[in-house]
């Protein structure tokens, strides 16, 4: 168990990576159903929920910088929302590329964090 996971360590990165994975599935589903009559596009709300939690934390404790000491990542999960209107394939393809870049950046960050931990463990006995 990572002692920092609940705050800014891998816990936040894992939540963001989970959201990016879910977003990939939702965008792929939207693209696959672009010609399906009556299909309503979906989107993933993660950043909005994170913004709301930060705003609430800031309102509750203005001196916290938006992150209270009791901030619980467990309450932060991505949600799939159904949107109105038709699927714009150009927007979906753009979102797909944007999400892939985000996913790669997040996984690279987690890899670097775990690599640093491995280095410390490997070299702590010297």
Kindly report, residue by residue over 78-88, the tens digit of the pLDDT. Answer: 899 999 999 99
pLDDT of amino acid 49: 87
pLDDT of amino acid 39: 95
Range of the domain at 52: 10-123
Residue 63 lies in a domain: yes
Contacts 24+ apart (CB under 8 A), 87-93: 87/30, 87/31, 87/33, 87/34, 87/39, 87/41, 89/31, 89/34, 92/27, 92/30, 92/31, 92/34, 92/41, 93/31
pLDDT of amino acid 27: 97
Residue 117 lies in a domain: yes
Residue 4 lies in a domain: no
Q: How confident is the model at residue 60 (pLDDT cuts 50, 70, 90)?
A: low
pLDDT of amino acid 98: 97
Domain count of the chain? 1
Residue 2 lies in a domain: no
pLDDT of amino acid 124: 84
Residue 74 lies in a domain: yes
Residue 114, pLDDT > 70, answer yes
């Amino acid at each position: 168990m990572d002692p920092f996971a609940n705050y800014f360590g891998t816990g936040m990165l894992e939540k963001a990576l989970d959201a990016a994975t879910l977003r990939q599935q939702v965008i792929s589903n939207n693209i696959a159903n672009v010609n399906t009559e009556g299909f309503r596009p979906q989107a993933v709300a993660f950043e909005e929920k994170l913004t709301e939690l930060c705003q609430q934390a800031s309102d509750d404790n203005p001196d916290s910088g938006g992150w209270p000491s009791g901030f619980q990542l467990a309450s932060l999960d991505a949600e799939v929302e159904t949107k109105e209107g038709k699927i714009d394939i150009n927007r979906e393809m753009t979102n797909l590329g944007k999400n892939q870049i985000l996913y790669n950046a997040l996984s690279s960050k987690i890899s670097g964090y775990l690599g640093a931990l491995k280095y410390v463990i490997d070299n702590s006995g010297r």
